[in-house]
A and B are shown apart, each in its own frame.
Chain A
């Protein structure tokens, strides 16, 4: 249907774009077939000449596609589908023009190439875990910020080399017991053997795919770590680059990208975490901007995880202002702003939530329940251990002193308050504790706290819907949870897998303000999920770039579901660079 309308739609879209001064150029249309049959759901991606822009659409059930491209000139158009060899064609695409490019894709018969084309989730499915506890530690800690099983991370190593790799990760913040290190390194040494993995994945096509487009804007370099993105009132995408202490600013209309450097601070590289094995991940900064949210006055508030500060950035004046959170309050994390304009954020490594009033600039720290003896030890001692470790920069001395090791506590030693959101019904503040499988409610006036155990593990970045239901991604258990604060009851939904022995690590979700659909990151299979509560059904959108790891999802006024592709490290992403990414489920409504 869409393809049949292509010439008219393509011209209209391009003219509309030209009139509105946007970047849209021409349209590419065609068919994707293989062996004479249509390839439903094939991803057709146009790359600009620099490969910094990528626009993608999906072929419909008849294999037809129509892609309104945002950029003109010499473009490369790639067709990609599971089990088939990528097809590429180069064409010149002037403004207000349509090009027809058909693809007859051939089946991938080379087992190694077929294996290489599979998602990270497939490569992990062949690992032989000897016990569930070690597997659980692996999922929780080794998939914490990135995929394992992609081309970069499935390189065969012996156990000693895997131990070295894990040790490096522990220097970055992964938390494992020595026993877990031993078990994980053994399984990876045995399982990551470079033998092709069999393709048992089943991709379910939905007619919804044919309506959608995906737009990607490459940003930063191979060491960028754009942790979170947010859509500004001006429609720009802002991204907090924890690797480089900059805020990326993308004007999606023009494609222009600017970077705004955070002001310097009297701290060494790594900030208060300078004793950690640096750079933490790929961080070369002192602030580590992490999460961001825009206030009603237009200022964007940013949690600086490494410098224990809160920053505000004014897009109008491009001015930053720093607010000290206190250097014993470690790792300011996810940030949200309530209806009264109060800024709330979790402080992950100190088991705290902060409240900041932008009008009075008053900061209040709310200590959360300790959740047991060893976590109380962490809450008390961690700032001092961090301080002590900073006298021996980059040595990871905290690991030598940590009871995660000597008391065999592992990740259980940290509560790790993570995601946070505001209940639209009563204004209460809710947070998730990632490591202790709890969610909690804070009364915004009295600061009274009440916590609830979640039935599944790894509650991460949660969000409310308009009715006051709390939706929670269960990172460690590959599921979506719904919590009704009125009845204090949970419901769970398993995420759709590409094969029964795979798993996903849903990092974040968001609830669409008008449709009520829940959009969820998958992160192990380069997909994004849409859950429709009314039918309790999922739609899976495959994403065109391999090694896509998404964090906060935000909605743009023009119908996009946007995020930052922020696998750690960025050079592990196909193409080697991080990007902003927006999925438009109804591309006909896209106005830019």
Chain B
């Protein structure tokens, strides 16, 4: 239990770092979302952008419990277990999708 809490705290505290590293992916997600405005439905565009963002954010935890985006570890030549990577991307995608839908809903309400 303590380990789970510690990982949650670590992930929350390191979220800005994860987002910082993921800026190129977030930018790409935004561009893809805008560019696909005429060719894809809203749901598909959100899914596409979320998937791109998730690829940039999805963390891989090292032996110390320190998270870094999977792509950063790969660029640095560190090993990432494929199964853990898939689970991480999927979990991140789920979180990003929920957040993206919430944000767009809030924006719609505000508008």
Contact = CB atoms under 8 A, between A and B. Distances in A.
B6 interface: yes
Contacts of B68: 406
Nearest to B18: A406
Given A178-B62, A182-B78, A397 B6 contact: yes
A400 B64 contact: yes
Interface stretch (B9-17, B22-30, B83-91, B96-104): B9-17
Contacts of B62: 178, 400, 405
B77 A179 contact: yes
A406 B6 contact: no
Contacts of A460: none
A401 B13 contact: yes
A395 interface: yes
B15 to A, nearest CB: 12
A167 interface: yes
The secondary-structure label for the interface of chain B is mixed
A400 B66 contact: yes
A406 B3 CA distance: 20
Nearest to A399: B64
Given A178-B62, A405-B62, A405-B66, A397 B78 contact: no
Contacts of B77: 179
Contact of B10 (A163, A182, A397, A408): A397
Contacts of A396: 64
Given A401-B13, A405-B62, A392 B6 contact: yes
Contacts of B43: none
Interface in B55-81: 61-68, 76-78
Given A179-B77, A401-B13, A406-B14, A163 B6 contact: no
B2 interface: yes
Contacts of B67: 400, 406
A208 to B, nearest CB: 49
A405 B65 CA distance: 11
Interface of B: 2-3, 5-6, 9-10, 13-14, 17, 61-68, 76-78
Interface of A: 163, 167, 170, 178-179, 182, 388, 392, 395-397, 399-402, 405-406, 408
Given A182-B78, A401-B13, 15 more contacts: A178-B62, A178-B78, A179-B76, A392-B2, A395-B3, A395-B6, A400-B14, A400-B67, A401-B14, A401-B66, A405-B64, A406-B14, A406-B67, A406-B68, A408-B76
Task: Report the 10 A-B pairs with minimum CB-CB distance, sorted nearest first.
Answer: A399-B64, A400-B65, A400-B66, A400-B10, A392-B6, A400-B64, A405-B66, A406-B68, A167-B63, A178-B78
